[in-house]
Chain A
């Protein structure tokens, strides 16, 4: 079955450490997205990519970085500059970046600080 795979499911970060969250899709979608979800809040867009080798900052990009070297993969790095990284991170994809395209989501990675 096609879908989005996020790994790991749980991740712990030490102070001053960078960590990378994996996101892979086999839906042949052009667009991919990273969201942060905090309790009682909606999804906030971190970065998105409309096509391979291209990505744009979302609403809360500070302290995060991404790459899109392959169509299937869109990893997110949470850097030490992100002072409050504890959250649930969701990766999503859509056929294109058009507004009429619904997004398909992975099952998330929960990041905690040690």
Chain B
């Protein structure tokens, strides 16, 4: 079984400030990890994914995430946020021996001017 915990349900931040959205996972086997973004009344879009190799993964819109196997974490970061980054962010995990993804409950990022 696998699970995902997003540690913050809401993260308010001022424009041009850095942000970190935290994600911890649990799995008995090796995993693949994903971050998705959802704008209001839309579906999810892939931001980035970790499959293997380098633990620092760069995605779209200036986001990056670091896979930490010892701490079972996959935190999402951006050095300087924009108003347009206001959205809900989901962390997801799937295992290397099954295709089903498990999603976290989401973190609402609100960027204030």
| Chain A contacts to B: CB under 8 angstroms | 4, 6, 31, 35, 40-43, 45, 48, 50, 58, 90, 92, 94, 96-108, 110
Contacts and interface: CB of A to CB of B under 8 A. Distances in A.
A22 B36 CA distance: 23
Given A99-B94, A99-B95, A48 B100 contact: yes
Nearest to A102: B46
Nearest to A41: B105
Contact of B105 (A42, A48, A97, A108): A42
Contacts, number: 65
B32 A99 contact: yes
Given A90-B44, A100-B51, 5 more contacts: A43-B44, A43-B103, A107-B41, A108-B41, A108-B43
B74 interface: no
B97 interface: yes
A43 B90 contact: yes
B43 A106 contact: yes
Contacts of B25: none
B9 interface: yes
B60 interface: no
Interface of B: 4, 9, 31-32, 34, 36, 41-46, 49, 51, 90, 94-101, 103-106
Contacts of A92: 43-44
B42 A108 contact: yes
B105 A40 contact: yes
Contact of B9 (A6, A40, A108): A40
A102 B103 CA distance: 12
- The 6 A-B pairs with the shortest beta carbon distances in the complex, nearest first, are A105-B43, A97-B99, A99-B94, A42-B103, A43-B103, A42-B105
A50 B43 contact: no
A43 B104 CA distance: 8
A108 B98 CA distance: 25
Contacts of A98: 99
A103 B94 CA distance: 11
